[in-house]
Structure 1
């Protein structure tokens, strides 16, 4: 199925649909992306937050989007004549977002294009086994918080399933309520995406873990495979008043899921100081750099 059509002069664009999943799955299986945006579940769940639309430029599928600040952009073309699609879109005055270093080296080492790092969008990449085991002194504080939690609560960790959906939705709503008015303007959009992820996990190919305390959901994490050797955790929410449960659910996600993967991508920090500090405290093995580019 080819859901895209061309309009002479400039490509038409349309919203993303669940029926697009097989198309994107085939594209990403070929591309083996490293940046966290490039999964169908991520694009679909944040289709409203970023106004993601699908188009074709020549023979290249392209996703158009918008930042939380309203700036329009396009993601790296997904195959076909990538260089040709880039020329068309950059010449039209559009901004490229989400290019990684290999893409920049291959397609953007040309004149007339300004390329800049987007630090707020860098993905945090970790050895999965390190997050699953928290070895050595550098994870001492994480282990202490987990020990604090386990010493005070009778709990269980289970794989996410339909039976846990309502409890996870209730926890997500509480997470939103606590942060209402103090967090970023993306709060409501992220909450909506998280709720839809819980509702459509099976259809989107998401897997997760749930921490239960006295039968109630205290934390959950949902993610998927990003490429052959990397998982990506899209959503991780916890009871904000239960110390240590956030460290526990992160560990259990990496201990129980995608155990054949070498790496875990924990996505970006969006430039939020608190989130950046939290992500850096896990000592990433690499920051997957992303770049923006525009015609000059």
Structure 2
């Protein structure tokens, strides 16, 4: 069943993902929000719905009780489509925001006094040269290289594919991680955990890319991503047991080397305003950011 024309709106199904993926690649925003993993993984948590307005795919949702819509996927009557999205949220919920607006969208609204624009730095996607994540070149990556080398030297490990048994073991590791972090006490972390379980449970249906590190017959780290477009892969998940020194650096390096080497760039998504996560992502020296903005009607 195709995504319905407006005013009909419904939650996108797994069968709709191919249509959304095609439209996202043609529109070329390059944002992690338009990956199939993001849309399917956060479908319930963000209450995502989709509709076609002027032939453009529009995705609506709600996060922390605030309603939003993503950039329309398409090129037909975009300003009119955006205004219809604002009108839909106002009539149905009393208001809402246009989120994850890419920089190229700003020229449409920045001189219009009806709109207010703010930078959403916490949700900028960190984008790296894949070659840098594989080679870890130069002095700035020396600490990373040392940690990967120590990991290789200190542990008897295997890098394995994500078969059914490994996927189940990855879920067990995620459950341990969630218990340690008390993620059920935090809405954002709880949402992320639900996302991880849903992605792992539907790994093969979503045609994702993944790998896991096994030590002493136990999965101790795993990573999952997918192609965002022909030149960029996006990494959705990196989880590891920090009992093993250097394991986070190792899983990132191994995953990029084995699964992502055909892509020029790797998008490692956002830091969500978490200082520790921001420091970790900046320590890999991003090539650029996929900037995002929030647009509101005054």
Find the aligned partners of 2:262 and 2:109 in 1 and give their Cα distance. 34
1:39–1:240 distance in 2 versus 1, CA, 3 Å: same
Find the aligned partners of 2:194 and 2:2 in 1 and give their Cα distance. 29
Are 1:123 and 2:90 counterparts?
no
Aligned-pair CA distance for 1:12: 3.6
Aligned-pair CA distance for 1:157: 1.1
Are 1:73 and 2:68 counterparts?
yes
Counterparts in 2 of 1:267-282, with a 5 A limit?
267-282=269-284
Q: Aligned to 1:77, what secondary structure does the other structure show?
A: coil
Q: Aligned to 2:272, what secondary structure does the other structure show?
A: coil
Q: Aligned to 2:213, what secondary structure does the other structure show?
A: strand
Counterparts in 2 of 1:215-226, with a 5 A limit?
215-226=217-228
Aligned-pair CA distance for 1:183: 7.5
Q: Aligned to 2:187, what secondary structure does the other structure show?
A: coil
Find the aligned partners of 2:150 and 2:218 in 1 and give their Cα distance. 19
Aligned-pair CA distance for 1:181: 5.4
Find the aligned partners of 1:203 and 1:194 in 2 and give their Cα distance. 15
Aligned-pair CA distance for 1:236: 0.7
Cross-structure match for 1:94: 96
TM-score if structure 2 supplies the norm length?
A: 0.92
1:234-273 CA-partner distances (Å, limit 9, x unpaired)? 0111113222111000011111113221100000000011
2:147 to 145, 148, 152: 145
Contact 2:59/2:70 (8 A) holds in 1: yes
2:234 to 232, 235, 244: 232
Cross-structure match for 1:57: 53
Counterparts in 2 of 1:178-189, with a 5 A limit?
178-180=180-182, 184-189=186-191
Find the aligned partners of 2:288 and 2:25 in 1 and give their Cα distance. 23
Find the aligned partners of 2:251 and 2:289 in 1 and give their Cα distance. 22
TM-score if structure 1 supplies the norm length?
A: 0.92
Q: How many residues align?
A: 290
Find the aligned partners of 2:183 and 2:34 in 1 and give their Cα distance. 30
Q: Aligned to 1:201, what secondary structure does the other structure show?
A: coil
1:86-127 CA-partner distances (Å, limit 9, x unpaired)? 12233544310001112223x324412111100100110100
1:183-224 CA-partner distances (Å, limit 9, x unpaired)? 742222211211121121111121111111122101000000
Find the aligned partners of 1:242 and 1:43 in 2 and give their Cα distance. 32
Structure 2: stretches of 5+ with no match in the other structure: none
Aligned-pair CA distance for 1:182: 9.2
